[in-house]
Structure 1
Amino acid sequence: MTAPGQRDRASLHYPVEPMTAATTRELPVAAAWAYEPKWDGWRCLAWIRPGRVQLQTRSGKPIGVQFPDITRALRATLPPGVVVDGELVVWDDARERSSFSLLQRRAAAGRHVLQLARQHPAHYVIFDVLATADASWLPAPLTERRALLEDLLAGAPTSLVLCPHTTDPAVAREWLDTWTTTGIEGIVAKRVDQPYRVGRGGWQKLRARTSAEAIIGGVTGWITAPRTILVGQFDTRGRLRFTGRSTPLTETQRAELAPLLHRPVAQRQGLRMEHPWPQPLPSSWTGSWQTRTAQRYTQVEPDTVAELLVDTAFEHGRYRHPVQHIRVRRDISVYDVPILGIDE
């Protein structure tokens, strides 16, 4: 295989913004497209240097110190000068799926990093190559970059995973239907003739989603003009547990919800009775690993059920990504909402 040329290699500097994917509602099925699973992990680019490896997140944050098992494997497998793109994941043997919370624990391990690396080893799922020692592969089409990547990862250890790849949309749909229980979030579609566009879009991602019911326990904004809803489910002890927050509501949804929402009965009667959730919601409930801000909200009587569109990122009783409100379920009671199988 002939390298695309050296003219761009000198301009590729650490860190680099990776190519991105825009959300789509339909999987493109033309002959020019290929498909890969969307992993529930952290986007990570790896730079192989003489004697060392640098890892960076999508935002450019260095994370090599937190993942010595991955830097060691990369240093032993790939030659200096190689730059690859992929996703860091940690497998939860007990749940038989990837675990975002274990990945966060690895990143926050501090002086216990080696201990956690032994207890919860990471895997690096690699799906693209940006450069080798003497050439930039950014201008090359995906088909050529993929062939190079397969050569580079031949005989790699199990911690370095060549991302599954297909040009058959039926196979991609099968992944979407059957692999989500292992933590796959959806499918990323890529044009086979497209170069790698640093810091720009060009790929498409289709998330695996399903409908679910939950109880509205609060809103952001005002009861008369809610901006988002905060939802929960009863646990096995009968406590209403916070499970997630919605994306911004449409004007139609606001108009439908406003007449149904009320302050808790005790508050309306001037009594001191606590809402099931604290005010504000703790940052550990609502924040991502990058955002740690407590959420102030308006408490409402938890007597209204919402139908939601949710993805597969549900862990420890909460949706990690915002859910989408579809409609109010006036036909069912809050006691018809499925019980969360947790009681701690």
Structure 2
Amino acid sequence: MLAAPVDAVPDAPGLIHEPKWDGWRCIAFREPDGVYLQSRAGRNLTTYFPDITRAVRTLPPGVVLDGELIVWERGRTNFALLQRRVTAGRALLRLAHDCPAHYVLFDLLADTGGEVVLGLPLSERRARLEQLLVDAPTQLTLTPQTTDTQQVSDWLVNWTVAAGIEGVVTKRLDSRYDVGRRGWWKFRTRLVTEAIVGGVTGSNRSPLTVLLGRFDRRGRLRYTGRTHPLTDAQREQLGGMLSPLNPLQHRTAAMVHPWPEPLPASWSGQLERPEPLRYVQVEPTVVAEIDADVAFEHGRWRHRVRYARARPDVSVYDVPLLLGEEGSYFGEP
């Protein structure tokens, strides 16, 4: 079951709210002879999470669970450590020992013995899930739920930065589980902020998307993310402000461009790695106002951001520092 994006947290009788965890969605099948972990896209994750399969083995055969795989580091979810499970190779068992994963559970698809419970209301599926987890290992965690809008506000204001959640998922207590249907709602915490234009796809006169950066504490411009495609009006406005950075300009440019071209595939932060990204480097003197969510790792936004407009009134030196190096996430002192 999936969640449709919304611009505000729904508030009506019969609704329940849960934190939206920053991890990998996973369905766990407790089979008679073992455990099978499946990603949202249908990928087999079993071999990458021996610690989770061991924990799920303690549950009765036939059980099918829905939840989110996460890894904690110093009290906050760390998406990069989650990704390392796929590339760890022979170091996987050591990684699982040093940085154990947790499986945050929020639904039950089949109960003990394989009893399918998709048609039961969420409130009853939740009650059964709670009972299943009474004596379960600590790595199997039940996600919090609330009907209190004040609690939801606390999650959005405090948990997004401190714990690393992305927002809130809202569900109907009387809803059945419809596989593949968007019957839930998800609200992502977002903020309006600024970043420096360091490159574009397309051309500098007609940019399609924008590659963004911020300075770190040493004054080096670091790549922080990429925008969604620009509108025609945005392309026209920004294209008239960009200056190309070619080899002959490096000595006279306001700042030397520090990013490789093409942009490495690993910088995208996705599970399925794309090809290296060809782009046009520009002189990093233009500031862009953007709308971004709060999911970031290694100083980069993991999801594409929304480009709003250029800010010729703002100096690149007034843009907040690299994500994680500001006084606070929101760039406040």
Question: Shared fold by TM > 0.5?
Answer: yes
What displacement does 1:270 show?
Answer: 11
Matches within 5 A, 1:174-193: 174-181=154-161, 182-193=163-174
Among 70, 78, 81, the alignment partner of 1:102 is: 81
2:35 matches 1:56 = no
TM-superposition CA deviations, 1:167-189 (whole Å, max 9, x none): 22332222111111211011011
2:318 matches 1:329 = no
Tell whether the 8 Å contact from 2:266 to 2:273 is kept in structure 1 after alignment.
Answer: no
TM-superposition CA deviations, 1:87-138 (whole Å, max 9, x none): 0000112xx3110000111232222221111100110000000012242111
2:276 matches 1:294 = yes
* Corresponding position of 1:221: 202
Q: Which runs of 5+ in 2 are unaligned?
A: 326-333
TM-superposition CA deviations, 1:272-295 (whole Å, max 9, x none): 997322211111112512123100
Instruction: Tell me the TM-score normalized by structure 1.
Output: 0.88
* Higher alpha-carbon deviation: 247-256 or 223-232: 247-256
Paired amino acid for 1:262: S
2:126 matches 1:154 = no
* Corresponding position of 2:184: 203
Q: Per the alignment, in what secondary structure is the counterpart of residue 284 of structure 2? A: strand
What displacement does 1:251 show?
Answer: 2.4
TM-superposition CA deviations, 1:214-266 (whole Å, max 9, x none): 11011111222211111101223322111110111122322221211121276
Matches within 5 A, 1:259-298: 259-264=240-245, 267=248, 275-298=257-280
What displacement does 1:70 show?
Answer: 0.9
How far apart, CA to CA, are the structure 1 residues paired with 2:92 and 2:8? 41
Q: Give the direction of change, closer, same or farther, for the CA distance of 1:222–1:50 in structure 2 (3 Å limit).
A: same
How far apart, CA to CA, are the structure 2 residues paired with 1:134 and 1:318? 42
* Corresponding position of 2:20: 38
Instruction: Tell me the TM-score normalized by structure 2.
Output: 0.91
How far apart, CA to CA, are the structure 2 residues paired with 1:283 and 1:269? 25
2:120 matches 1:140 = yes
Tell whether the 8 Å contact from 1:286 to 1:295 is kept in structure 2 after alignment.
Answer: no
TM-superposition CA deviations, 1:28-59 (whole Å, max 9, x none): 10112211101111001100012311111111
Paired amino acid for 1:164: P
How far apart, CA to CA, are the structure 2 residues paired with 1:168 and 1:32? 12
Among 64, 67, 72, the alignment partner of 1:83 is: 64
How far apart, CA to CA, are the structure 1 residues paired with 2:102 and 2:231? 40
Tell whether the 8 Å contact from 2:63 to 2:114 is kept in structure 1 after alignment.
Answer: no
What displacement does 1:271 show?
Answer: 9.1
Paired amino acid for 1:214: A
Tell whether the 8 Å contact from 1:190 to 1:204 is kept in structure 2 after alignment.
Answer: yes
Q: Per the alignment, in what secondary structure is the counterpart of residue 263 of structure 2? A: coil
Give percent identity, aligned residues only.
Answer: 54
How many pairs align? 321
Q: Which runs of 5+ in 1 are unaligned?
A: 1-18
Paired amino acid for 1:153: L
Tell whether the 8 Å contact from 2:257 to 2:284 is kept in structure 1 after alignment.
Answer: no
TM-superposition CA deviations, 1:127-182 (whole Å, max 9, x none): 00001224211111111111111111112221110010112233222211111121
* Corresponding position of 1:315: 297
Tell whether the 8 Å contact from 2:250 to 2:256 is kept in structure 1 after alignment.
Answer: no
* Higher alpha-carbon deviation: 215-224 or 120-129: 215-224
* Higher alpha-carbon deviation: 157-166 or 221-230: 221-230
Structural RMSD (CA): 2.1
Q: Per the alignment, in what secondary structure is the counterpart of residue 57 of structure 2? A: helix
What displacement does 1:269 show?
Answer: 9.6
Q: Per the alignment, in what secondary structure is the counterpart of residue 272 of structure 2? A: coil
Q: Give the direction of change, closer, same or farther, for the CA distance of 1:238–1:195 in structure 2 (3 Å limit).
A: same
Tell whether the 8 Å contact from 1:218 to 1:231 is kept in structure 2 after alignment.
Answer: yes
Tell whether the 8 Å contact from 1:25 to 1:206 is kept in structure 2 after alignment.
Answer: yes
How far apart, CA to CA, are the structure 2 residues paired with 1:37 and 1:69? 23
2:219 matches 1:243 = no
Paired amino acid for 1:304: V
Among 31, 46, 56, the alignment partner of 1:74 is: 56
Tell whether the 8 Å contact from 2:61 to 2:114 is kept in structure 1 after alignment.
Answer: no
How far apart, CA to CA, are the structure 2 residues paired with 1:304 and 1:247? 18
Tell whether the 8 Å contact from 2:104 to 2:140 is kept in structure 1 after alignment.
Answer: yes
Tell whether the 8 Å contact from 2:121 to 2:175 is kept in structure 1 after alignment.
Answer: yes
